[in-house]
A and B are shown apart, each in its own frame.
Chain A
Amino acid sequence: MRAEQLPIRSPDDVARVRQAVRSRAQAMGYSVVEQTKLVTAASELARNTLVYGLGGSVEMQELEDGFTQGLQLVFEDQGPGIDDLDQALTDGFTTGGGMGLGLSGSRRLMSEFDIQSTPGAGTRVAVVLWKRAGARR
């Protein structure tokens, strides 16, 4: 399971993250809808990393759970962090002029969503989309 790390330091990096996620998802045989969900979530989270986290990185990793495959994306920054996670995950909450759907929306698009944030130290968001299969546990 190869891991691949990409920097998120500029808007161009965000575009590169989208392309990298797209091609990895294609190579793994995700459906078009799944690919679109992955790339969209990657776009939201990469933008958050850049705008709110003041830059960071993403690590892509393929996962396997015995039944199906998944693609994991871990976004990390050393930015100001998030004071109130519950509030940040509420639809419509925003501090950066966005629509406040970045975090909550990505959570709906992905199978798994985990966020850890320490005010003053940074934020880490890990998401996984498992390939849709009848035999998911």
Chain B
Amino acid sequence: MRDLLTALSKSRAQQGFAPTETALFVFSLKQPMFEHLSGSGEAGNDVLDRVWRLNRLLDDLGLYTTEMYQRGRESIIQKQQQELLDLSTPVVKLYEQILALPLIGTLDSERTQVVMENLLDGIIAHEARIAIIDITGVPAVDTLVAQHLMKTIAAARLMGAECILSGIRPQIAQTIVHLGVDLGDIMTKATLADALVMALQRTGHVVVRKQG
């Protein structure tokens, strides 16, 4: 019986039913039983009726607390997910007017949206001219991820900042070419260090090694 209920709850949760709806499904078995009882006993129908109504009320109250409990947990989980996302996409100021966004791990569309927003907010906060997006730590780039990167770069440009894409490993370069993704006139560099040098040059700096 428990196994059956567990399986039922799981499949219902996957289909997106609220816990209340699932519990109600089980509780709905009560009514025919009560009807059966009231049909068999001639006396006490009045009592049964009152018991039934009381029963319904208590069920509703219990279900309500379950629902609220679940919502509370869901909002905590959501908040933690958000915090995790923010943590995994830091925007770092490398130098005056130069930001870096070192991306690590898989980029899905949810995360890319957070990345995009963090970067654009960072551009405002640091008055950045150049943002380096480093994808050394990104294991794979598919068409969708490439498109997300292009969108981020396009949005930064609309705000008046240039982006340099760095850390494109050979396999990823191959994938990008293979997918036929047009990176257009986006500035790319092999490493974050190369990108930093480029960014410094573009913001009017000269990098020289001190003699001796």
Contacts and interface: CB of A to CB of B under 8 A. Distances in A.
Interface residues of A, number: 9
B16 A65 contact: yes
Interface stretch (A4-12, A38-46, A55-63, A129-137): A129-137
Central interface residue in A33, A132, A134, A135, by most chain B CB within 10 Å: A134
Contacts of B45: none
B78 A66 contact: no
B16 A33 contact: no
Nearest to B20: A66
Nearest to B74: A135
B77 A66 contact: no
Contacts of A132: 110, 113
Given A134-B82, A137-B16, A67 B117 contact: no
Interface size range on B against A: 10 to 19
B17 interface: yes
A62 B1 CA distance: 39
A135 B77 contact: yes
A66 B18 CA distance: 6
B110 A134 contact: yes
A66 B17 contact: yes
A67 B81 CA distance: 14
Interface in A49-94: 65-67
B16 A67 contact: yes
Nearest to B120: A33
A118 to B, nearest CB: 32
Interface in B1-33: 16-18
B16 A66 contact: yes
Contacts of B113: 33, 132
A134 B77 contact: yes
Central interface residue in B16, B113, B117, by most chain A CB within 10 Å: B16
Interface in B113-149: 113, 117
Contacts of A65: 16
Nearest to A32: B117
B137 to A, nearest CB: 22
A132 B110 CA distance: 9
Nearest to A31: B117
B19 to A, nearest CB: 9
Contacts of A67: 16, 74
Given A65-B16, A67-B16, A135 B78 contact: yes
Contacts of B74: 67, 135
A17 to B, nearest CB: 25
Given A66-B16, A134-B78, A134-B81, 17 more contacts: A33-B113, A33-B117, A65-B16, A66-B17, A66-B18, A67-B16, A67-B74, A132-B110, A132-B113, A133-B78, A134-B77, A134-B82, A134-B110, A135-B74, A135-B77, A135-B78, A137-B16
The 6 A-B pairs at the shortest CB distance, nearest first, are namely A134-B81, A66-B18, A137-B16, A134-B78, A133-B78, A66-B16
15 contacts: A33-B113, A33-B117, A65-B16, A66-B16, A66-B17, A66-B18, A67-B16, A67-B74, A132-B110, A132-B113, A134-B78, A135-B74, A135-B77, A135-B78, A137-B16
